[in-house]
Amino acid sequence: MKATIITIGDEILIGQIVDTNSVSIAKKLNAIGITISEKLSIGDTREAIVSTIDRALKATDVLVITGGLGPTKDDITKHTLAQIFNSELVYNEAEGEHVKSLLARRGIEFTDLNRGQAMLPKCCTVLHNAHGTAPGMWFERDGKVIVSLPGVPFEMEHLMDDEVIPRLKAHFELKAIVHRTLITRGIPESILAARIAEWEDALPSHLHLAYLPAPNVVRLRLSAYDVEGAATEEEITAQFDTLRSIIGDNIVGYEGSSVEQQIHEILTARGEKLAVAESCTGGTIAAKFTAMAGASAYFMAGVVSYSNEAKHDILGVSWDSLNAYGAVSEQVAREMAEGVRRVSKADYAIATTGIAGPGGGSKEKPVGTVWMAVATPTKTIAIMRNSGTDRSQIISRASAYTIEMLYNELKNL
Amino acid sequence: MKATIITIGDEILIGQIVDTNSVSIAKKLNAIGITISEKLSIGDTREAIVSTIDRALKATDVLVITGGLGPTKDDITKHTLAQIFNSELVYNEAEGEHVKSLLARRGIEFTDLNRGQAMLPKCCTVLHNAHGTAPGMWFERDGKVIVSLPGVPFEMEHLMDDEVIPRLKAHFELKAIVHRTLITRGIPESILAARIAEWEDALPSHLHLAYLPAPNVVRLRLSAYDVEGAATEEEITAQFDTLRSIIGDNIVGYEGSSVEQQIHEILTARGEKLAVAESCTGGTIAAKFTAMAGASAYFMAGVVSYSNEAKHDILGVSWDSLNAYGAVSEQVAREMAEGVRRVSKADYAIATTGIAGPGGGSKEKPVGTVWMAVATPTKTIAIMRNSGTDRSQIISRASAYTIEMLYNELKNL
């Protein structure tokens, strides 16, 4: 079963927003066995919408469309769909009342434009949008399904989960899609490919291997389409088990669990506590941990000690070290980690101090220089790395490296 | 001048990655006057690549393709392009030497797979990729241009800036595209549309208005394609100036400068300092400020006081308040803001304390309850808001509201 995802909106074509709707829809469709043949973004023009839907309907069985359902003149998706399906717009009493009460709760007047949002093509099944003013629409033609959803991510998510996915499962007989991704570390892509060539060549034809390289990491994904789910999952697990005998030392584990998630699980299970002192990473590491539900069980405190005063006053870094070695130094990184561990009464602490740029670099300490430290109950270790010249990359790489340092220490204890 | 952007890779179609490449490419093409007609994502199959390029070449003058240029078997873009252009692959000595030296610097062996990366279609102009092992390719056919770039964002960015954009400007006579977006706050979309209907109806036909709604904010974008840049910019500014006379109180300013950027500028100009104490937002606010180059001029410290101990030990929040009112309370929010202002010697401080969920809620303080405080040299204010039930939404909304509270205070001083 194949689908096309169409996102409508000039804001996508001019790069004003990042389209995450299609990512979410793709995952949800994959999870029930529907393969995405193509994702498209088009502008708010009648011609583009008509020709794209026409073409997509020839190639695939399911079309999921988002965007263009707002109350204003630039939103034309609904009118264009009514035209395509040759169906008049009629006022839907229930949806009208819903919009009215939703606006009343927010203290907003119900205008003609809002009334227009409850005008819906007669031929469609209305998908009730409990969280917004634009209902979704479900159309059928020759056994194929066309779904139109609002572009507001939160509303789209609910409509997919509550309305679209259950209806698709009822409408089609679906087989499974299985993806599983193994993370390897420390082997460059080309070397890895040579080392596992024999294993790769022996894969059965229904298992598709993909290489997904990133700095220091290559993810290997095996995918199978239109299969029996449970049996294929076992088969893929067995294939990856074979791979462990070839490159076992370089395998980190399956995707789905980031390094911070693994630390989250270890600390939660052990009842141990964590604290973070950040200079150049500026709160990014703390935000990664606290984004996970349940972090309060182990995350005691983070200190973004951006100024030297904060390093000294809050963390107890000595003025001697700051003056003798500078804020970006092994000594200060160590004292930051030890200091935040002490003031927050944590078992483990990590610290970063570096030059995120673009200013502040020197010949000895160029932009990108970052000292990272981990303090445990028995020792403190520190490492320096240079993470390039781009501020956001320096922050994200230094965060990732420091979290990995902590993980390596936790694993060995 | 119209372009199609094609991103190739199964990882996009299954929702394993968010495609940001096409966002960046769209912006860069728009900036030199090239309009994007369509963005497409397709899988790593020969048929999809051939048919998509064929169709896109009929509709547009420029194709920018990313992805599928890696050294492994799942990457087939280059071979498919060679086939489409009926051109044999030949070894490019200069690119081969570049790949060799790049790998040597990283201590990686040069394999046959890497040699393959320097095998390039004879008919293309090679675009040198200084930052990676996969060169870009520039093809021409009937005056149209087809560009193939690696999917690694960093490498793609450099190739676009250094090679593709200058060549496109030389190849085509381009007119300008102008987008300008005004941010309004506090008027719902439907009310706003009614209030500015007369202005909207009087817009000249070459200026296109789009409404981009978000919680409490509607952005209004005016776009013009294939115009004289400077004159149209003036025209759009004049139109927005007229709008100020209608909804002036609700206009925040032009997009491009977020609230935190405006605070960044105000504090930098005034030489005043900021500190942040975060509980439920967990470092997100600190990370927003420190992501901006130059933040060290005013950002003294952030404290992620997740535990009660940290609130007391680091920020000096009293045990009396914590016990009497609980960590999520007006009193604690105030003491956090005042505490971090004091320990970091800042002029201004903001604080958040709330229940991000999914656990920890109660009838009196349901998940989503967040107290936010701003401490200034003369006073402390605190506000409570409920930000829904989704952890990541609670964190991002509470961060945004708190930053806005600070902005409102700074504006009035």
**B303/A302 touch (CB, cutoff 8 Å), yes or no:** yes
> For the domain with range A182-254, which CATH number is right: 3.30.70, 2.60.40, 3.40.50, 3.30.460?
3.30.70
Higher pLDDT, A108 or A86: A86
**pLDDT range class, residue A409, cuts 50, 70, 90:** very high
Q: Identify the weakest region by mean pLDDT among A326-330, B192-196, B383-387.
A: B383-387
**A304/B276 touch (CB, cutoff 8 Å), yes or no:** yes
Q: According to the model, what pLDDT value does residue B86 have?
A: 96
Higher pLDDT, A220 or B388: A220
The residue of chain A nearest to residue B152, with distances taken between CA atoms, is A214
Query: Is A229 at the interface with chain B, CB within 8 A?
Result: no
Q: According to the model, what pLDDT value does residue A413 have?
A: 65
ipTM of model over 0.95: no
For B166, list phi and psi in degrees, rounded to 5: -60, -40
Angle subtended by helix axes A77-84 and A46-59, to nearest 10 = 50
* DSSP calls for A269-310: HHT--EEEEESTTTTHHHHHHHTSTTGGGTEEEEEEE-SHHH
So where are chain A's domains? 2-171, 182-254, 259-411
Query: Is B216 at the interface with chain A, CB within 8 A?
Result: no
pLDDT digits (tens, 9 = 90+) for A149-199: 999 998 999 999 999 999 999 999 999 999 999 999 888 899 999 999 999
Quote the CA–CA distance of A20 and B15 in Å, as a whole number.
9
**Is A256's pLDDT higher than 80?**
no
Neighbours of A56 (CB within 10 A): 23
Nearest CA-CA distance, residue B141 and chain A, Å:
24
Quote the CA–CA distance of A261 and B184 in Å, as a whole number.
39
If DSSP codes are grouped into helix, strand and coil, which group holds residue B352? strand
Average pLDDT over residues B385-413: 87
What tokens does A48 get? Answer: 């583009």
The answer to whether the beta carbons of residues B134 and B155 sit under 8 Å apart is yes
Average pLDDT over residues B152-159: 92
Angle subtended by helix axes B259-270 and B391-411, to nearest 10 = 40
Q: Tell which B residues from 231 to 260 touch A, by Cβ distance under 8 Å.
A: none
- DSSP letter at B326? -
Strands (E) across A43-161 are located at 62-66, 89-91, 119-121, 125-127, 136-141, 144-149
Query: Is B194 at the interface with chain A, CB within 8 A?
Result: yes
**Is A254's pLDDT higher than 90?**
no
**Is A267's pLDDT higher than 90?**
yes
What tokens does A68 get? Answer: 């263009």
Which residue's entry shows tokens 């930000």? Answer: B387
Q: Where are the alpha helices (DSSP H) in A111-177?
A: 112-117, 153-159, 165-171
The answer to whether the beta carbons of residues A186 and A169 sit under 8 Å apart is no
CATH topology classification for B259-411: Maf protein (3.90.950)
Q: What is the mean pLDDT of chain A?
A: 93
Q: Which residues touch B134 (CB under 8 Å, ≥6 apart)?
A: B69, B70, B71, B117, B150, B152, B155
Quote the CA–CA distance of B388 and B369 in Å, as a whole number.
8
- Would you give the distance in Å from CA B194 to the centre of its chain? 30
Neighbours of B101 (CB within 10 A): 10
Q: Tell which B residues from 35 to 94 touch A, by Cβ distance under 8 Å.
A: 35-44, 48, 52, 70-75
What tokens does A20 get? Answer: 């995450």
Q: According to the model, what pLDDT value does residue B248 have?
A: 86
**pLDDT range class, residue B229, cuts 50, 70, 90:** confident
**Is A230's pLDDT higher than 70?**
yes
The answer to whether the beta carbons of residues B316 and B328 sit under 8 Å apart is no
Nearest CA-CA distance, residue A272 and chain B, Å:
13
Quote the CA–CA distance of A275 and A286 in Å, as a whole number.
8
Average pLDDT over residues A44-69: 96
**B14/A24 touch (CB, cutoff 8 Å), yes or no:** no
> 3-state SS string over B54-71?
HHHHHHCCEEEEECCCCC
The answer to whether the beta carbons of residues A239 and A222 sit under 8 Å apart is yes
The answer to whether the beta carbons of residues B55 and B14 sit under 8 Å apart is no
**pLDDT range class, residue B186, cuts 50, 70, 90:** confident
The pTM of this model reads 0.76
What tokens does B279 get? Answer: 């509980």
Chain A residue numbers touching B48 (CB-CB < 8 A): 37-38
CATH class belonging to B176-254: alpha beta
Quote the CA–CA distance of A404 and A410 in Å, as a whole number.
10
**pLDDT range class, residue B256, cuts 50, 70, 90:** confident
The architecture CATH gives domain B2-171:
3-Layer(aba) Sandwich (3.40)
pLDDT digits (tens, 9 = 90+) for B333-346: 999 999 999 999 99
Q: Identify the weakest region by mean pLDDT among A143-147, B338-342, B392-396.
A: B392-396
* Rounded (to 5) percent helix, strand, coil in chain A: 45, 25, 30
Q: Judge whether B2-171 and B259-411 match in fold.
A: no
> Which residue from B23, B291, B303 is facing A301, i.e. has the nearest CB?
B303
Give residue A362's identity as a one-letter amino acid code. Answer: S
CA distances A340 to A291, A310, A350, B300, Å, are: 20, 11, 8, 16
**B109/A25 touch (CB, cutoff 8 Å), yes or no:** no
pLDDT digits (tens, 9 = 90+) for B80-101: 999 999 999 999 999 999 999 9
Count CA atoms within 13 Å of residue B362 on its CB side. 5
pLDDT digits (tens, 9 = 90+) for B11-68: 999 999 989 999 999 999 999 999 999 999 999 999 999 999 999 999 999 999 999 9
β-strand A274-278 against B176-185: which pairing, if any? unpaired
If DSSP codes are grouped into helix, strand and coil, which group holds residue A240? helix
Neighbours of B413 (CB within 10 A): 12
Q: Tell which A residues from 388 to 407 touch B, by Cβ distance under 8 Å.
A: 390-393, 395
> 3-state SS string over B369-408?
EEEEEEECCCCEEEEEEECCCCHHHHHHHHHHHHHHHHHH
**Is B413's pLDDT higher than 70?**
no
- Would you give the distance in Å from CA B369 to the centre of its chain? 28
Q: According to the model, what pLDDT value does residue B104 have?
A: 87
Quote the CA–CA distance of A24 and A165 in Å, as a whole number.
12
What tokens does B297 get? Answer: 């001029």
Nearest CA-CA distance, residue B126 and chain A, Å:
22
Nearest CA-CA distance, residue A413 and chain B, Å:
25
Nearest CA-CA distance, residue A255 and chain B, Å:
10
The answer to whether the beta carbons of residues A89 and A121 sit under 8 Å apart is yes
> Which residue from B39, B73, B190 is facing A13, i.e. has the nearest CB?
B39
The H or E element containing residue A403 is: helix A391-411
Q: Tell which B residues from 136 to 165 touch A, by Cβ distance under 8 Å.
A: 152, 154
**Is B109's pLDDT higher than 90?**
no
Query: Is A357 at the interface with chain B, CB within 8 A?
Result: yes
**Is B392's pLDDT higher than 90?**
no
